[in-house]
Amino acid sequence: MSFTIEERGRPNTQDYRVYFKNSEGKYVSPFHDIPIYAEEGKNIFHAVVEVPRWTNAKMEIATKDPLNPLKQDLKKGNLRYVCNVFPHRGYIWNYGAIPQTWEDPGHKDGDTGCCGDNDPIDICDIGNKVCSRGEVICVKVLGALALIDEGETDWKVIVINVEDPEAEDFNDIDDVRRLKPGYLEATVDWFRMYKVPDGKPENQFAFNAEFKNRDFAIKTIKETHGFWKALVMKKTEAGGLNCMNTCVSDSSFICSSNDAKAIVDSASVYGEAEPIPSSVDKWFYYSK
């Protein structure tokens, strides 16, 4: 199964959007229409890359917009870029989300004691390839880190692209610790500190910032898939989330291809990118 993107608006502006199409050329929602599984029997999952490694623009699936395109998050009315906290430059993995998952804000996690963050579950792809924005990859799950972000459970699932030349060597979280020494520690450090330059306190973690293994991570993903199913079947209150989709046949939120096309057509025409502000290159330093 393959997917392509269609960009709208001008990159590095507030009207920039990235819409998705399936192999039939049909517009789809990356939140609802891209299947969670690439190969269910092997626990191979799809993942949508929101932020390529080494970049700073905080792009994310727009869960409240029709068809849920990628758009850049805002902070105080301005485009949001994550800061460079030495020695980390931008995101240190390909960062994204697993489709057809949802961390339910009405569900208190039995392990963390906190409710979900109202988003699809996040992934950190540790493979060698620097992916492109909007790329849909097939991933093996290796483990998970439980970030507690402003009192909400925000799982970070560690994965590797199945097409990575080293993918066969990675099957659980201990393989990351053994074959990529320092990467897990850097991941904890990154999530702990990335909001500090904005004047916020360090982030906290469940389980004393210890990574849970592959089986635990897969169980968590499947649980959030169940929450997503309840969402699109109207068994759970959607709140401000937009559940419009074109492929979930038994969902009452399904829309026609023409309706989906009209949404994309109404978006701004793709244009020349604005320059990224020079302030994005600034480094921040903190003692450990």
CATH of the domain at 122: 3.90.80.10
What local confidence, expressed as pLDDT, does residue 146 receive? 97
Please check whether residue 34 lies inside any domain of the structure: yes
Tell me the C-alpha distance between 267 and 45, whole Å. Answer: 30
Please check whether residue 49 lies inside any domain of the structure: yes
pTM: 0.97
Q: Can you list the positions of beta strands (E) in 62-197?
A: 70-72, 74-75, 78-79, 84-85, 94-97, 122-125, 136-149, 152-161
pLDDT single digits (tens) 122-132: 999 999 999 99
Residue with tokens 């690439």: 38
Burial class (CB in 10 A: 0-12, 13-18, 19+), 236: middle
What local confidence, expressed as pLDDT, does residue 287 receive? 86
pLDDT single digits (tens) 80-134: 999 999 999 999 999 999 999 999 999 999 989 999 999 999 999 999 999 999 9
Q: Is the CB of residue 38 less than 8 Å from the CB of residue 138?
A: yes
* Domain that includes residue 89, residue range: 3-279
Residue 150 — very low, low, confident or very high, per pLDDT cuts 50/70/90? confident
Q: Which two three-digit tokens encode residue 107?
A: 């569900």
Q: Is the CB of residue 153 less than 8 Å from the CB of residue 207?
A: no
Tell me the C-alpha distance between 261 and 29, whole Å. Answer: 12
What is the DSSP annotation of 197-239? GGTPPPPEESGGGPPB-HHHHHHHHHHHHHHHHHHHTTSS--T
Tell me the C-alpha distance between 261 and 254, whole Å. Answer: 13
Beta pairing, strands 70-72 & 59-61: antiparallel
What local confidence, expressed as pLDDT, does residue 100 receive? 98
Residue 73 — very low, low, confident or very high, per pLDDT cuts 50/70/90? very high
Q: Which two three-digit tokens encode residue 142?
A: 């290796």
Tell me the C-alpha distance between 236 and 243, whole Å. Answer: 12
Residue with tokens 């997917």: 3
Please check whether residue 286 lies inside any domain of the structure: no
pLDDT single digits (tens) 209-241: 999 999 999 999 999 999 999 999 999 998 999
**Mean pLDDT value across residues 68-84:** 97
- CA distances for 24 relative to 21, 48, 184, angstroms: 8, 18, 39
pLDDT single digits (tens) 30-51: 999 999 999 999 999 999 999 9
Please check whether residue 171 lies inside any domain of the structure: yes
Please check whether residue 285 lies inside any domain of the structure: no
Tell me the C-alpha distance between 116 and 142, whole Å. Answer: 21
Counting the structural domains of the chain, the total is: 1
Q: Which two three-digit tokens encode residue 189?
A: 């450090």
